[in-house]
Amino acid sequence: MIVLGIESSCDETAAAVVEDGTRIRSDVVSSQISVHRPYGGVVPELASRKHVEAILPVISQALEDAEVTGNQLDAIAVTRGPGLIGALLVGLSAAKAMAYALGKPLIPVNHLEAHMQAAFMGSSPLKKPFVCLVVSGGHTALYLADPMAGNRLLGSTRDDAAGEAFDKAAKLLNLGYPGGVVIDRLASEGNPRAFQFPKAFMEKESLEFSFSGIKTAVANFVRRLGPPAPEGEKGAYRLEDLAASFQEAIVDVLVTKTLRAVEFSGVRDVAVVGGVAANGRLRLRMREEAACRRVALHLPPHRYCTDNAVMVAAAGYHAWMRTGSCENLLELDAVSRWL
């Protein structure tokens, strides 16, 4: 079964052709990083406009790279939500038009479930049920993925997502966008124990997250001590140490909660997906802790941590195999929240 996947939930316009849910025949992504960098974050209106410009060329390129025509597709999968409504509508409108014109099934895909599908793209075989941490700029949530019961939400963030905290702290420190990448690089040269930032574990045995407090703590820290010393110079503190300490506090919460979910659920497989899954410190800590507990850890390649359409096509394939049906093309609409 050949599925075209389309993704436009935030600031990446992507299309991919995947056969039988595993064989990647094409993978095209148009990034908007240069567009949003001057603003230190994604500007929804600009994202929507850029999606309009890129969506048809990206789809055409994906079909060309896969050496297939629209008529050879068996179905079209598209991210319906969650995400930025304006951005989602661009991809959804293109998918609806193609499905209608070609007479192909349209498969709406949950963006978070698509990220979970990326866990199967790693080198080690992943078995269900498994605990999955979905951690990105817009989402931080724990799921129990079960073939019989579906994906059950175990806990999510009450305020900011982990990736959002990274980006906002980076903006505060004038580090550029995307901030998480810069903080990860700086932190590799810093001392993660230089400063103590708050870790919101909340109620005992809670599997929910909160990262607004640590974001505020960093702002207060900089307000109290001033800006960090320029690279190579002496000052009140080093930027690398601040980045490492901030990152460690977030990673510690993510690792602790994820392995707590593994313990509660009794499964032996755990996956970490989403943009923040590319963070070097998170990957290292998860490997160390999983090895100590003899838990099988599954991390997708960096390429499939960030938004892409391969995961959308693969998720669409599996959704079609489960249900064999699609929703009414004219009534299908985008949704900003869909846990």
Q: For the segment 245-274, what is each residue's pLDDT rounded down to a tens digit?
A: 999 999 999 999 999 999 999 999 999 999
Task: Return the bridge partners of 238, or none.
Answer: 229
Give the residue from 188, 158, 167 showing the smallest Cα distance to 253.
158
Per the CB < 8 A criterion, the answer to whether 129 and 145 are in contact is yes
Q: Which residues contact 46 (CB under 8 A, 6 or more apart)?
A: 32, 35, 36
Per the CB < 8 A criterion, the answer to whether 117 and 315 are in contact is yes
Q: For the segment 181-221, what is each residue's pLDDT rounded down to a tens digit?
A: 999 999 999 999 999 998 988 777 889 999 999 989 999 99
Architecture of domain 2-116+306-323: 2-Layer Sandwich (3.30)
The mean pLDDT of 164-184, rounded to a whole number, is: 90
123-299 has which fold?
Answer: Nucleotidyltransferase; domain 5 (3.30.420)
Spatial distance between the Cα atoms of 336 and 89, rounded to a whole number of angstroms: 10
Residues of the chain with CATH 3.30.420.40: 2-116+306-323, 123-299
Measured N-to-C along each axis, helices 239-265 and 280-292 cross at an angle, to the nearest 10 degrees, of 40
Using only C-alpha atoms, the chain has a radius of gyration, in whole angstroms, of: 20
pTM of the model: 0.89
Task: Return the bridge partners of 28, or none.
Answer: 15
Per the CB < 8 A criterion, the answer to whether 83 and 10 are in contact is yes
pLDDT classification of 235: cutoffs 50, 70, 90: low
